[in-house]
Amino acid sequence: MDIIRRSTGRCAPREHPARPLLKGRRLARKRKPRLCDNPCMRLFVGIPLSGQVTCELASISQRLRSSGDGFRWTIGESWHITLQFLGNAEQEQYECVLARLRQLHLPPVPIGFEGLGFFDRAGVVFVGVKVSPELLLLQKRVTEATALCGFVPEARAYQPHLTLARSKGQRQGLNALKAKIPRQASFTGFVAEEFLLYESFLGSTGSRYEVRGRFALNGGHQRTSG
Q: Percentage of residues in the chain with pLDDT exceeding 90?
A: 46
The residue that leads in pLDDT, 170 or 217, is 217
pLDDT at 26: 43
Query: Cα angle at 81 between 87 and 27, to 5 degrees?
Result: 65
User: Which residue type is seen at 209?
Assistant: Y
Give the alpha-carbon dihedral of 141, 143, 144, 148, to 10 degrees: 140
The residue that leads in pLDDT, 10 or 109, is 109
Does 5 score more than 60 pLDDT?
Answer: no
The residue that leads in pLDDT, 10 or 62, is 62
| Arithmetic mean of pLDDT, 154-164 | 90
State which H helix or E strand residue 226 sits in: none
> Domain 37-216 is of which CATH architecture?
Alpha-Beta Complex (3.90)
